[in-house]
Amino acid sequence: MNRTLAALLVAVLVVLAGCSAAFGGDDAVTAPAADGEPAADGAADGTGGDGSGSSGDAGSGESAAGGDDGGSAAGDGGSSASDGTASTDKIGVEGGVRYDAELAVTVENGLNETELQAVLNRTMARVEVIRQLEFETTVPVEVISRAEYRERDVFTRDTPPRVEQFRSQVWEAQFVLGEGEDVSESFSALYGSSVAGYYTPAQDRIVLVSDAEKPTVDRTTLAHELVHALQDQQFGYEGASTRDGTIARRGLTEGDARYVDTLYDERCQTDWSCLPKPDTGGGGDGDGPSYDRGLFAAIYQPYADGTGFVHALRQRGGWAAVNDAYDDPPTTTEQTIHPETYPDEEALSVTVVDRSSDDWSRFSVRGGSQRLGELGVYTTLWAGGVIDRDSHYENDGPYSVRTYTTTASTGWGGDRLVPYSNGEELGYVWKLRWDTTADAREFTTAYRKLLRTRLGAETVGAGVYRVPDGSFADAFRVERDDRTVVITNAPEVEDLDDVHEP
Tens of pLDDT along 308-320? 999 999 999 999 9
Residues 67, 175: Cα–Cα separation, whole Å: 38
Predicted pLDDT of residue 237: 85
Residues 229, 139: Cα–Cα separation, whole Å: 7
Predicted pLDDT of residue 126: 98
Mean pLDDT, to the nearest integer, of 368-385?
A: 97
Domain boundary pick from 260, 288, 320: 320
292 and 201: one domain? Answer: yes
pLDDT band per the 50, 70, 90 thresholds, residue 192:
confident
Predicted pLDDT of residue 500: 98
Residues 408, 177: Cα–Cα separation, whole Å: 21
H or E, element range at 188: helix 183-194
66 and 139: one domain? Answer: yes
Higher pLDDT, 171 or 290: 171
Higher pLDDT, 78 or 265: 265
What angle separates helix 219-234 from helix 243-268, to the nearest 10 degrees?
Answer: 130
Higher pLDDT, 71 or 492: 492
Q: What is the dihedral of CA 381, 383, 385, 391, to 10 degrees?
A: 80
Evaluate if residue 348 carries a pLDDT over 80.
yes
Task: Provide the mean pLDDT of the chain.
Answer: 82
- The strand order across the sheet containing 205-210 reads 22-23, 10-14, 195-200, 205-210, 141-145, 79-81
What angle separates helix 113-131 from helix 219-234, to the nearest 10 degrees?
Answer: 60
Contacts of 194 (CB under 8 A, 6+ apart): 13, 14, 16, 26, 283, 284, 291, 296
Predicted pLDDT of residue 154: 66
Mean pLDDT, to the nearest integer, of 210-232?
A: 87
Inter-residue contact 310 to 294 (CB < 8 Å): no
Evaluate if residue 56 carries a pLDDT over 50.
no
Predicted pLDDT of residue 75: 33
pLDDT band per the 50, 70, 90 thresholds, residue 215:
low
Mean pLDDT, to the nearest integer, of 96-114?
A: 84
> Per-residue pLDDT tens for 122-167?
999 999 999 999 999 999 999 888 888 888 876 667 788 999 999 9
Q: From residue 329, how far is each of 80, 241, 299, 308, 311 by CA, in Å?
A: 33, 13, 19, 15, 15
> Domain limits at 490?
361-499
The answer to whether residue 412 is domain-embedded is yes
Residues 500, 427: Cα–Cα separation, whole Å: 10
Inter-residue contact 149 to 215 (CB < 8 Å): no
159 and 296: one domain? Answer: yes
387 and 251: one domain? Answer: no
Evaluate if residue 458 carries a pLDDT over 90.
yes
Q: From residue 209, how far is each of 172, 206, 500 by CA, in Å?
A: 31, 10, 47
Residues 26, 302: Cα–Cα separation, whole Å: 6
Q: From residue 278, how far is each of 211, 275, 320 by CA, in Å?
A: 9, 9, 34
List alpha helices for 198-277, DSSP H.
Answer: 219-234, 243-268
Mean pLDDT, to the nearest integer, of 428-441?
A: 98
Residues 143, 24: Cα–Cα separation, whole Å: 16
Residues 406, 385: Cα–Cα separation, whole Å: 12
DSSP string, 335-390: HHHSGGGTTT-PPPP--------TT-EE-SGGGG-B--HHHHHHHHHHHTT-S-TG
Evaluate if residue 336 carries a pLDDT over 50.
yes
Mean pLDDT, to the nearest integer, of 360-375?
A: 93
Predicted pLDDT of residue 45: 27
H or E, element range at 484: strand 484-490
3-state secondary structure 33-94: CCCCCCCHHHCCCCCCCCCCCCCCCCCCCCCCCCCCCCCEECCCCCEEECCCCECCCCCCEE
229 and 135: one domain? Answer: yes
199 and 273: one domain? Answer: yes
Predicted pLDDT of residue 110: 67
428 and 316: one domain? Answer: no
In this structure, what are the phi and psi dihedrals at residue 189, rounded to the nearest 5 degrees? -65, -40
Predicted pLDDT of residue 36: 33
312 and 365: one domain? Answer: no
Among candidate residues 306, 289, 63, the one with its CA nearest the CA of residue 196: 63
The total domain count for the chain is 2
In the chain, the percentage of residues whose pLDDT exceeds 90 is 61
Higher pLDDT, 74 or 229: 229
Residue 490 burial (10 A CB sphere; 0-12, 13-18, 19+): buried
Distance of CA 333 to the CA centre of its chain: 11
404 and 288: one domain? Answer: no
Evaluate if residue 63 carries a pLDDT over 80.
no
Among candidate residues 157, 161, 177, the one with its CA nearest the CA of residue 365: 161
Residues 59, 57: Cα–Cα separation, whole Å: 6
Residues 247, 57: Cα–Cα separation, whole Å: 7
Mean pLDDT, to the nearest integer, of 91-117?
A: 87
Predicted pLDDT of residue 22: 28
Predicted pLDDT of residue 251: 97
Domain boundary pick from 320, 344, 375: 320
In this structure, what are the phi and psi dihedrals at residue 91, rounded to the nearest 5 degrees? -60, 130
The answer to whether residue 335 is domain-embedded is no
Evaluate if residue 298 carries a pLDDT over 60.
yes
Predicted pLDDT of residue 16: 31
Residues 84, 140: Cα–Cα separation, whole Å: 6
The answer to whether residue 341 is domain-embedded is no
Dmax over CA atoms of the chain, in Å, equals 74
The answer to whether residue 159 is domain-embedded is yes
274 and 382: one domain? Answer: no
The answer to whether residue 340 is domain-embedded is no
The answer to whether residue 339 is domain-embedded is no
Among candidate residues 294, 30, 31, the one with its CA nearest the CA of residue 177: 294
> Per-residue pLDDT tens for 5-47?
333 455 565 543 222 222 233 332 332 222 333 222 222 223 3
pLDDT band per the 50, 70, 90 thresholds, residue 174:
very high
Burial call 244-269: b when 16+ CB within 10 Å, e when fewer: bbbbbbbbbbbbbbbbbbbbbbeebe
Give the least confident one: 55-59, 279-283, 379-383, 436-440: 55-59
Mean pLDDT, to the nearest integer, of 380-398?
A: 90
Which residues are paired to 312 by β-bridges?
none
Mean pLDDT, to the nearest integer, of 203-217?
A: 81
Mean pLDDT, to the nearest integer, of 256-274?
A: 96
The DSSP bridge pattern shows strands 412-421 and 361-362 to be antiparallel
281 and 392: one domain? Answer: no
The answer to whether residue 97 is domain-embedded is yes
53 and 182: one domain? Answer: yes
Domain boundary pick from 301, 320, 339: 320
The DSSP bridge pattern shows strands 426-434 and 412-421 to be antiparallel
The DSSP bridge pattern shows strands 475-481 and 412-421 to be unpaired
Residues 47, 53: Cα–Cα separation, whole Å: 6
The answer to whether residue 5 is domain-embedded is no
Predicted pLDDT of residue 80: 60
Predicted pLDDT of residue 225: 96
3-state secondary structure 427-478: EEEEEEEECCHHHHHHHHHHHHHHHHHHCCCEEEECCEEECCCCCCCCEEEE
